[in-house]
Amino acid sequence: MKFMMLGIILYIGVASSVAHAAEKYSITEMSAAVVYLHKSVNALYMDDDGVMKELWLKGPEDEEPLPQIKTMSGTGFFINYFSGLYLVTASHVAKEIDLSSQVTIAGKNDVPETISLKDLSGSSVLFWVNHPIADVAVLALKPTKVIFDKYLDKRFLPAGIIEPASIAPPREVPICVIGFPKGLGVTDRFSPLTLQTSPASGILIIRRFDTKTESEFFIVQDPSTGGFSGAPVFDISRYGMEPVATPDSGTRLYGLVHGTISDDTGGKLGAVVPSHYILETLQLAKTR
């Protein structure tokens, strides 16, 4: 009940100021706001005594062993909310991302540009704001003018594209996930991958895979892939396709990727965090 009241209060606070946008954004324009979050760490293993240790790989006899490097990664996206600049991702991704992490964005001629999260945030302390129950995290950004002009200008989507209601997209509407599964799309050329899928449910209450707490989700027909976590999910029926009967003609952000639902039969579906949780988390970040 307490959280329900929180949702009602936050919804009232944002609904009047975050109106449905009438603008249409192409997939190319939406991709410019999507970023690859990554951090390289030494891989660990548990020894026979239950102690976690670094994993080193033995090379040829005349070479020293080398540490096995593991990349922690996910997808995020930029949002402009009440003239504030924010980075949005899944909270289970943000949990692994710190000031030593890096952010890769599209550079000139699609050459990837990588900057530190410290420079992007403009702070020596990283303060992710996490939603109380949903898998959403928001980071307020305060880059210097030099960093903004060089890397961030024209990359922020307006908060007005975020669907504020606790609803799933209509099942007749094609939706598109934009992100970096397996780190693809950030090497020689910046080219986020797009996964076009369809909604398979309305709003459901299920348990998060990471915290096991109950939260709202909607299900999509295709599973996620590692690296898609935190990726935005857009309604693309209003761009380049025959529109369906929807409330307005603008681009809509309906949520972000949580993960995959699977069972022993091999069946897999994708779980998406509804977008109203994104707005609530942005509101929390703004007030703090």
The tens place of each residue's pLDDT in the chain, 288 residues long, gives: 333 334 434 443 444 344 444 578 888 889 999 999 988 655 555 667 776 655 556 667 666 666 555 567 899 999 999 999 999 999 999 998 888 899 999 988 889 999 999 999 998 888 999 999 999 999 999 999 999 999 999 999 999 999 999 999 999 989 999 999 988 999 889 999 999 999 999 999 999 999 999 999 999 998 778 789 999 999 977 544 444 434 445 789 999 999 988 777 777 899 999 999 999 999 999 998
Structure tokens at 3: 């959280």
- 55 in a domain, yes or no? no
Q: How far apart, in whole angstroms, are the C-alpha atoms of residue 281 and residue 288?
A: 11
Domains held by the chain: number? 1
Residue pair 277/89 in contact by the 8 Å Cβ criterion: no
Q: How many CB atoms lie within 10 A of CB 190?
A: 22
Residue 129 has a pLDDT of 97
Nearest to 176 by CA among 245, 270, 246, 244: 270
Residue 89 has a pLDDT of 97
- 188 in a domain, yes or no? yes
Residue pair 213/131 in contact by the 8 Å Cβ criterion: no
Residue 242 has a pLDDT of 43
Give the CATH number, domain containing residue 25: 2.40.10.10
- 229 in a domain, yes or no? yes
Look up tokens 């033995």; give the residue: 58
Residue 20 has a pLDDT of 46
Nearest to 284 by CA among 84, 142, 37: 84
| Dihedral Cα 10, 12, 18, 19, nearest 10 deg | 150
- 48 in a domain, yes or no? no
| pTM for the predicted model, two decimal places | 0.82
- 51 in a domain, yes or no? no
Nearest to 205 by CA among 196, 214, 213: 214
- 267 in a domain, yes or no? yes
Residue 283 has a pLDDT of 97
For 14-68, what is the HEC assignment? HHCCCCCCCCCCCHHHHHCCEEEEEEEEECEEECCCCCEEECEECCCCCCCCEEC
- 53 in a domain, yes or no? no
Q: How far apart, in whole angstroms, are the C-alpha atoms of residue 119 and residue 125?
A: 11
- 57 in a domain, yes or no? no
Question: Which residues form the domain of 31?
Answer: 2-38+72-287
Residues with Cβ < 8 Å from 218, sequence gap 6 or more? 168, 169, 199, 200, 201, 202, 203, 204, 254, 255, 271, 272, 274
Residue 41 has a pLDDT of 57
